[in-house]
Structure 1
Amino acid sequence: MASGDFLRQMQGYGLTTANIFYRMPDHPGIIQSYIWQDYDLHPHFPELRKFLDFWTRSLDGPLHGVTVAHAQLIKPAEMRLVNGEFSVH
């Protein structure tokens, strides 16, 4: 049986990392950073949007900015032609 993460990758999900910058509730002049990582769909990022909506509704630290990186982990195989074969004993 394949893992749930593998099945999600087969459905087009890729690893998404978001660096979320937010202001401290008690000290609004200080900006903190929180790293969020999960499998998500590019380019609309429904899982990240769901998390950011939760953050806005439930947490006191107002968002300052979000930087997103995404990598499609399962890609078509790359093929490279080889000119020779070497045997190592």
Structure 2
Amino acid sequence: MQETPTELMLKGYGLTTAELFYRMPDYRNVLNSFVWQEYDLAPDHPKLFGFIEFWQDSIEGPLHSVRFTHRKMLSSGEWRHVVGEFHYH
């Protein structure tokens, strides 16, 4: 069973977005881009680096460069468990 994005964020994961620039296999002077997005752990980024290794091993278009950003959408101090609820007239 796959974890939901909220469960991942509570475990410290953040949304990582990467733009990979690669050369076309038949036209080496042409750069193309591919956008990848996944919940990952900073600062090691195991899923991002795993994807880059997969690309280098399995995809014919050699990588030119990778640009990425990481946004931790929920930190442990921002989450509170609320037990009660108040109703106003």
Taking the aligned partners of 2:53 and 2:63, their CA distance within structure 1 comes to 11
Mapped to 2, the partners of 1:28 and 1:45 lie a distance apart of 29
Aligned to 1:38: 38
Give me the whole-angstrom Cα distance separating, in 2, the residues matched to 1:48 and 1:71.
14
Task: Map 1:1-89 onto structure 2 (within 5 A).
Answer: 4-75=4-75, 76-77=77-78
- RMSD (CA atoms): 1.1
Task: Give ranges in structure 2 of 5+ residues lacking alignment.
Answer: 79-89
Distance 1:24 1:33 in 2: 10
List gaps (5 residues or longer) in structure 1. 78-89
* In structure 2, C-alpha distance between the alignment counterparts of 1:48 and 1:18, rounded to whole Å: 8
Q: Give the alignment's TM-score, normalised by structure 2.
A: 0.80
TM score, norm. by length of structure 1:
0.80
Give the % identical residues: 43
Number of residue pairs the alignment of both structures matches: 75
1:61 maps to a residue whose letter is: G
